[in-house]
Structure 1
Amino acid sequence: MQKSVIGYGSIFHKSDTAHISNISNTGFLGEHELFYAGRFAIKHVIYCILEHKAIEHIWLPEYYCPYVKNWLEQEFSAIKYYDIDPFDADAQIDWSPFSSSDLVIANNFWGLKENVLPEGERPIVIEDHSHGWLSKGCIESNADFCIASLRKTLPIPLGGIAWKPIMGNCDIPLKSLKDTSIDTEINPMLKSWDLIENAMKTKATCTNEEEKIDFLLNNSQGETLLRNTQEIVPLLKRHEDVICSNLFKDFNAYKRANLNFILKTLESSQIFKVITRDKNIPFGLLLAFKDWGLFTNFKQFLITNMIYPAELWPQNRIAQEYKFLLNIHLDFRYNEEDLEYMSNTINQWTLQQSYINTEQEL
């Protein structure tokens, strides 16, 4: 594997994680179920709730993954949206629009959010920890149910989880997923897993552009299969074993150390702000922008320099001052030399923009 070919970011490569230790506090999970994706976990939890309680509206954050929005809108007709600032870690949900007959999906934005639930009569709450698996807000949650897309944190092809937090007090059970057998020839999640796993394996040994194109194509095909699958497909045992072997690995320790390193070398900017929070570990290096043109210019500059950020998320328009977010991965794949390259590249763009602004003011 050559980083001069594969660059920095994008999908995980196939990795040996045996040397990474588990976290000490694994007792926060109550009843739980594993899935191929977080969206299947959300769907399963909602149907568990509907078996025991009539729901008037299902509320999602206005700023949310567009694929999940679309996926849930295809499944449920009672979807509504509420406003919360995704780039202010201290912002709390305004619970006043909701009734006790509603269901609210609260997002642990970027692993930095600790949602405060109202006391007394309130809606059912599902917390989404997809960008904050094993974060403080995840481990200390007292929501009724929680879900997460695990493959955003764990180096696995697919994976999701639903659970009832130990600190919650909801009496609606999380039922087990029906163990239905699907022929391997038509199992879309088996095909999706194999395609993405092949992409990860190819990336791990990639040394040229042809191999790079190959793993990107395999990954894209696997993602398309996942995106187009509405049915909840039960996990195969061998896939469950892969997820379980990585489930409690302390990948966040690497993010914490790498973020601390890069923040010491990153120049301040008037164009973007770094989203972080003391005593919390963010999903990565989170850079929020006000201006779409500068956002896209910066994103393209990174890609030109072989840094592949994730836009979290496209197709969202909000009223807040900061509107657009890029995440640059700072996980266990990267050493100090890599982090210096990322920081120097970002600083180069910041300096260029400073010169441009100075020229325009003259």
Structure 2
Amino acid sequence: MKNKEFGSDFHYFYDENSVLNLGSLFQDQNLEYFFSGRVALYNLLQFGQKKYKWHKVGFPSYYCHEVVDFCKNLPLEVEYYNYNPFDEDEEVEWEDESGSVFINVDFFGIKKLDCSFLRKTEVIEDLTHNLESLSRSSANYCFGSLRKQLPLAVGGVIWSRHGDFAVNLEDNRFSNQIALKKLTAMYLKSEYLEGRFSHKDSFRTLYLEAEELFGDLQTNTALPKIVQAQLKGLVPRKLIEKTRLNINYGRKLLELSKNIVCLSAENGTEMGFAFLCGDYTIREKFRTYLISHNIFPAVLWPNQISERDIEIQHRVLFVHVDFRYNQKDIYFIVDVINKFIKHV
């Protein structure tokens, strides 16, 4: 008997018809692969500090702060600019000067700042939530994690417009062990979903143990060879297109609500359903209700710092509707959401 549940970490996925690799997503091939998105950014900042004398890097206040922490031992001044993607656009305060770097995040594939006001600052785009947009980027450098949109154990990437970025990194025992732990968890989850493995706590523990090690600087390595092989078993463009079809189908079924708003992008590039709830109480009731129906949403991101960002963190809920699911699954997910919305 199969176990049906939605969301949370990817299970092991292999496409027998795969003939492409990640590079097929992009028009340019100036790509370098790393253990993770934070490792990719770390190496890009280190490269720029040495070659272009970058001395300061700015991150949006609403962000994954584990990424920022990973880069703090670099000889760069770290600053936050006040910004989250859920408020109406306000003028961003930033000292535009040579040698400074501005991290511009494509939030959930929904919203990204217009940085045309920056003339001297180097803008680096974080495209973790919208990998396919890289070919449309106006930045000289982009980076991202691969494992948010693709079923990979680990992985990060850097793209350079002029092909001027290069670094010689190898993998190591530590990074391979984490990748193997994640791959094991992914395989066991796939077995669980097929009803051939019953110990859910086993793979959940492996996922969590692996995630806790992503912040260790020993992961400053290239993409492990075992994950390079995993990547070759995927057709990323097809997976992302399937996700987009699911999102478009699900949006047509979603009920409107003043207390639970599903954010959208004009060009249909959302990574999933990003909901902004009226307050924390509604968000928690919504989250608990979804979990009771085996739909496991995510909070993106926890551990915010500023008062306003903490408030937003407590109202946001992300629901996966990606390539793992067929139309029947999406109908079920949206039906559960609609039933809750009707009673809020």
Length-normalised TM-score, structure 1: 0.84
Name the residue aligned to 1:148: 144
Q: List gaps (5 residues or longer) in structure 2.
A: none
Residues 236, 20 of structure 1: alpha-carbon distance in 2 compared, 3 angstrom cutoff: closer
Compare 126-135 and 320-329 and name the one that shifted more: 320-329
Whole-Å Cα distance in 2 between the matches of residues 289 and 100 of structure 1?
40
Alignment size in residue pairs: 338
Q: Are the aligned partners of 1:127 and 1:145 in contact in 2 as well (CA < 8 Å)?
A: yes
> Residues 92-171 of structure 1: matches in 2 within 5 Å?
94=92, 96-113=94-111, 115-118=113-116, 121-135=119-133, 138-165=134-161
Aligned equivalent of 1:17: 15
Q: CA deviation at 1:27?
A: 4.5
1:296 alignment counterpart: 284
Give 1:209 deviation, angstroms.
8.2
* Residue 311 (structure 1) shift: 0.8
Q: Distance in 1 between matches of 2:334 and 2:268?
A: 21
Q: Tell whether 2:296 aligns with 1:308.
A: yes
Distance in 2 of aligned mates of 1:297 and 1:21: 44
Aligned partners of 1:75 and 1:297: how far apart in 2?
Answer: 41
Correspondence for 2:182 = 196
Shift of 1:56: 3.4
CA distance in 1, matches of 2:150, 2:118: 36
Deviation by residue 1:320-355 (Cα, 9 ceiling, x = unmatched)? 8955322111111111221122112111211222xx
What letter matches 1:271 in structure 2? N
- Is 1:254 matched with 2:272? no
The one-letter amino acid paired with 1:15 is: F
* Distance change (3 Å), C-alpha of 1:281 and 1:19: farther
Counterpart of 1:2, as a letter, is K
CA distance in 2: counterparts of 1:257 and 1:59, whole angstroms? 35
1:347 aligns with 2:338: yes
Q: Considering only aligned residues, what root-mean-square deviation do their CA atoms show, in Å?
A: 2.8
Aligned partner of 1:269 in structure 2 is: 257
Contact 2:272 2:321 in 1 (8 A): yes
In structure 2, what is the Cα distance between the partners aligned to 1:177 and 1:294? Answer: 49
Structure 2 distance, partners of 1:325, 1:294, is 10
* Mapped partners of 1:271, 1:147: distance in 2: 34
Per-residue CA distance 1:30-67 (angstroms, 9 max, x = gap): 42210110000000000110112223321001110122
In the alignment, what sits opposite 1:360? Answer: none
Per-residue CA deviations over 1:150-192 (Å, capped at 9, x if unaligned) read 01111111111011136xxxx8x2122234x74xxxx221111
Query: Is this contact kept in 1: 2:47–2:165, CA < 8 A?
Result: yes
> How big is the shift at 1:319?
3.7
Give the aligned partner of residue 65 of structure 2: 66
Indicate if the aligned counterparts of 1:92 and 1:116 stay in contact, CA closer than 8 A. no
Consecutive unaligned residues of structure 1, counting only runs of 5 or more, are 354-362
Alignment identity in percent? 24
Query: Which residue in the other structure is 1:49 paired with?
Result: 48
Alignment CA distance shift 1:345-1:289 (3 Å)? same
Matches of 2:8 and 2:40, distance apart in 1: 24
Q: Is the 8 A contact 1:28 1:140 kept in 2?
A: no
SS of the residue aligned with 2:144? strand
Offset of residue 74 of structure 1: 4.7
Q: For 2:343, what is the secondary structure of its paired residue?
A: helix
Rate the CA distance shift 1:27–1:254 in 2: closer, same or farther, 3 A: closer
What per-residue deviation string (whole Å, max 9, x for no partner) do you get for residues 261-280 of structure 1? Answer: 21122111111211112223
* 1:132 CA displacement: 0.9
Query: Aligned to 2:72, what secondary structure does the other structure show?
Result: helix
Q: Is 233-242 or 320-329 further displaced after alignment?
A: 320-329
C-alpha distance in 2, partners of 1:95/1:49?
23
CA distance in 2: counterparts of 1:162 and 1:284, whole angstroms: 23
Q: Secondary structure at the match of 1:17?
A: coil
Is the counterpart of residue 334 in structure 1 residue 322 in structure 2?
A: no
Partner of 1:359: none
The alpha-carbon deviation at position 76 of structure 1 amounts to: 5.3
Cα distance in 2, alignment partners of residues 108 and 92 from structure 1: 17
